[in-house]
Amino acid sequence: MLGGGGHAKVVLDAIRASDCCQVVGILDDDGAKSGQQVLGVPILGLCSELSKLSGKLKLKGFVVAIGNNYIREWKFRKACQTGLKPFTVIHPTAHLSADAKVGAGVVILAGVVVNPGTVIEDNVCINTSASVDHDNRLGNHCHVFPNATLTGGVQVGEYSYIGSGAVINPYLRIGCYSYVGAGAVVLRDVPDGVTVAGVPARKIADQPNRPEK
């Protein structure tokens, strides 16, 4: 598992509950964490050591347990380049429609609802108790925070965040690289690369950050 912070505890708990794989160790970019444990699982070293440890430990795959979208995408891409398989983690208390489509390396946490017709692309995180209704499309590397609600037909662009408790009205588009603030109510499309907040949601800032390539 890549990432040894607080989010890692939640992802590790979902892995154990779903029994989708066995976590033999954790890698983190903070060298000071080496030798520590997350819920009893040892932090073995730095993320950059994945390729070396892969053969030594006979690893079959990886899970990224990092909330930051850009860092999660970077680790996902680098881990895939080692030839390891990205595992998808779905907590057993989540309801995932049989008519939903789920990409590689997706993490769906406890209490989430995903309804028919929804497409979830690669390396997406849907956090605790979020509701993703029918015919939504979640772009690569986006993150839906706890208790957020995506009503029908919503499109969420790559790398975007939907904040905790936010509500997105039907058939709207949230642009790539955008942030929707916690508790916001979105009544109109959100352009690429902006931060919106409030009820109703309005632009409060540009969001200039972009992933490293």
Both tokens of 162, joined, read: 């939907």
β-strand 41-45 against 119-120: which pairing, if any?
Answer: unpaired
Residue 32 per-residue DSSP state: G
Task: Spell 107-121 as b/e; 16+ CB within 10 A means b.
Answer: bbbbbbbbbebbebb
Active-site option among 7, 91, 134, 141: 134
Tell me whether residue 134 is one of the annotated catalytic residues.
Answer: yes
Say how far apart CA 141 and CA 45 lie, in whole Å.
24
H helix intervals, 59-108: 69-81
From the list 170, 161, 131, 134, the residue with the least C-alpha distance to 148 is 131
- 114 within 8 A of 96, measured Cβ to Cβ: yes
Would you name the residues annotated as active-site residues?
A: 134
